[in-house]
A and B are shown apart, each in its own frame.
Chain A
Amino acid sequence: MSAHTILAIGPGRRLYSRFANRLSWRSAPVILGAVIILGAIIIAISIPWWSPYDPIALAGRRLQPPSWGHWCGTDALGRDVLVRTLYGTRYSLTIAALVLAAGVSIGSLVGAVAGFIGGLLDSTLMRLADITLSFPPILLAMAIAASLGPGLVHTAIALIIVWWPIYARLMRAQVLNVKGLDHVDAAVVAGALPSRILFKHIVPLCWSPILVNMTMDVGQVILLASGLSFIGLGAQPPTPEWGQMIAEGASSFYSWWIAMGPGLAIFLVSLSFNFLGDGLRDLFDPRSRAST
């Protein structure tokens, strides 16, 4: 995701032409993405009320291909794959929300303080971020998840550790930019407390790139978390987590439908957040709007 982040704010990035088809072409993916995400959130919240089957209990005969009774078939334990896939939205969205909320909070705080105060504190904190960023994320996450033991909570902790430095760097760069602006100088002259200056006058101006990155990163968090579950370091059976379900599909290989539902789900959700992120960037980033 680090490369992704760099790209997302890179100056070379150009978007669609602001001329032809601007509304229709540019908006279609954003709208589609937003609709899918909204749908996923609604499903995640409401599924226990209307699900025809329990995601963990037997729902029918084992290893049945898709049919009217089971649209996505049943798995090796006779559970309904569609129901499990829909339940999976809860785990994936929760973990993405948790990781990004914590990663962004920690990262932003560290970045803001480092950028604002500067000096030794700045270099210490940023070297810490550099160190974390110098390892391939999955290896770092695996080392952490393996040490803590498998489980969704531990996966989340591992991913937070992987993600915070990205936001620390981003926030620091923003703070450094904004620090020199006139209204900040004015606040300093007026004798405002440093903490007030930072949180009232600087930070509010720094949010938009963070928000765009967060949106783009949701897909990455979901992919990495499900990847960890797939290799057995994340969610454990019988949790209907997508990566874990694909692993189960792999062991009943001829029953291709078992992995189909969760595979498509990961793909759709991650694509939707990418679309949405693109849209948000257009909205927030004056450069990307002006550059074409």
Chain B
Amino acid sequence: MLRILLKRLVLMPFLILGIVTATFVLAQFTKGNPLISIIGARALDNPDIVAAAKARWGLDKSLPERYLIYVDNLAHGNLGTSFRTKQPVLQDLADRLPATLELVICAMIVGAVTGILLGVISAQFRDTPADHAARLFALLGSCIPMFWLGLLALFVFSVQTHLLPGPGRLDIRSDPPNTVTGFMLIDTLLAGDWDGFVDAVRHLILPSLVLGWSVTGIVARMVRASMLDVLGQDFVTMARAKGAGEGRVLFNHALRNALIPALTILGFTFAYLITGSVLVETIFSWPGIGSYAVDAARSLDYPAITGVTIVGGLGFLIANLLTDIAYAAVDPRMRSAA
């Protein structure tokens, strides 16, 4: 167990170095010109302006030089300055991370709750139409393109029926609460702004449902499988024999044990949720890391692209570490095995 953790941690610097190297090498092949987002297109015809901008942003140096400078900065925790926003990438990311985390956490809750529910239903009613329906529903979530589903959801719930607000995290005209944690749900409450809290919740509903559904299938599969395992075991049979009600057997005995392996799957859903958040944030104008990544990629903002990828890799690593730790905590065999 400890070895796995250590291995992951030791690999991390190499991972980051790898991605930095890769983006630098790939940048050589690009046809586009990042200067456009720095000085505007028309000034590209003016050699003085181009030279000045290149010098200012370090683009006049050779690729290896730029690479070394970047790596050196990186070692000091500096991710460079975004070509597009002109702010330190680290600050840009810190500003936007809470928005993404808030969305991803809400989506994970949606995915976990629906997944567990459907998984239990499918296991309990194995091979009945209820099982097939539950599994189909879970599968749909991972087959429907999220960016289309998001559009449909906006069209139906926001434009047509006005049941829910459109994109963004809060109503534009309302003053955003002071940023304490960056989580709208928490900040509005800290500010005692109940209306703001309700507004934030309403804005979160559509994106977290769309994003959460995409991982329902993964969770449901896992829960179903482990429920079937557990339901066949002696202690469940015992409980039934002792005359415990079916609901009690299901939730008190079976589910509690089945959830242990299911819990670990949440770490895996992170990859899905990050992928999804890029698309969902784009649709819902959510000011998080995902939409930042898209804007960076479109304007060839290399420092931002590299920064986002590094942070994404770190997030992935942390999710995996947490999964490992959770697994070790719930499964004594893992602990002793290591």
Select which of A233, A242, A246 is within 8 A of B151 by beta carbon.
Answer: A246
Cα distance A7–B225 in the bound complex, in angstroms:
11
Using Cβ atoms and an 8 Å threshold, which residues of chain A touch B306?
Answer: 143
Using Cβ atoms and an 8 Å threshold, which residues of chain B touch A2?
Answer: 268, 271
CB distance from A29 to the nearest CB of B (A): 8
Given known contacts A143-B297, A266-B145, A13 and B221 CB-to-CB distance under 8 angstroms: yes
Using Cβ atoms and an 8 Å threshold, which residues of chain A touch B14?
Answer: 127, 131
Cα distance A130–B7 in the bound complex, in angstroms:
11
Within 8 Å of chain B (Cβ to Cβ): is A219? Answer: yes
A219-B143 in contact (CB<8A): yes
Given known contacts A12-B225, A274-B139, A136 and B279 CB-to-CB distance under 8 angstroms: no
Given known contacts A142-B297, A143-B306, A224 and B151 CB-to-CB distance under 8 angstroms: no
Given known contacts A3-B269, A227-B275, A231-B282, A146 and B305 CB-to-CB distance under 8 angstroms: yes
Q: Which of B146, B224, B278, B313 counts the most chain A CB atoms within 10 A?
A: B278
A12-B229 in contact (CB<8A): yes
A143-B275 in contact (CB<8A): no
B152-A263 in contact (CB<8A): yes
Cross-chain pair count, CB within 8 angstroms = 186
Using Cβ atoms and an 8 Å threshold, which residues of chain A touch B312?
Answer: 135-136, 139
Select which of A1, A227, A249, A262 is within 8 A of B279 by beta carbon.
Answer: A227
Using Cβ atoms and an 8 Å threshold, which residues of chain A touch B149?
Answer: 263
Select which of A14, A130, A226, A262 is within 8 A of B225 by beta carbon.
Answer: A14
Chain A, Cβ-Cβ closest to B214:
A223
Q: By DSSP majority rule, is chain A's interface helix, strand, loop, or mixed?
A: helix
Using Cβ atoms and an 8 Å threshold, which residues of chain B touch A262?
Answer: 148
Within 8 Å of chain A (Cβ to Cβ): is B15? Answer: yes
Cα distance A64–B220 in the bound complex, in angstroms:
41
Using Cβ atoms and an 8 Å threshold, which residues of chain B touch A20?
Answer: 127
Using Cβ atoms and an 8 Å threshold, which residues of chain A touch B268?
Answer: 2-3, 6-7
Closest 3 CB pairs of A and B: A147-B26, A263-B148, A3-B268
List the interface of chain A (C-beta within 8 A of B): 1-4, 6-7, 10, 12-14, 16-17, 19-21, 25, 127, 130-131, 134-140, 142-149, 219, 223-224, 226-227, 230-233, 242-243, 246, 249-250, 253-254, 256, 259, 262-263, 266-267, 270-271, 274, 292
List the interface of chain B (C-beta within 8 A of A): 11-12, 14-15, 18-19, 22-23, 26-27, 29-32, 126-127, 132, 139-140, 142-149, 151-152, 155, 159, 218, 221-222, 224-226, 228-229, 261, 265, 268-272, 274-275, 278-279, 282-283, 293-294, 296-298, 300, 302, 305-306, 308-309, 312-313, 315-317
Given A138-B274, A262-B148, 15 more A-B residue pairs with CB atoms under 8 Å apart are: A12-B222, A12-B225, A12-B229, A127-B11, A136-B271, A136-B274, A149-B29, A233-B297, A243-B147, A246-B148, A250-B151, A256-B152, A266-B145, A266-B148, A267-B145
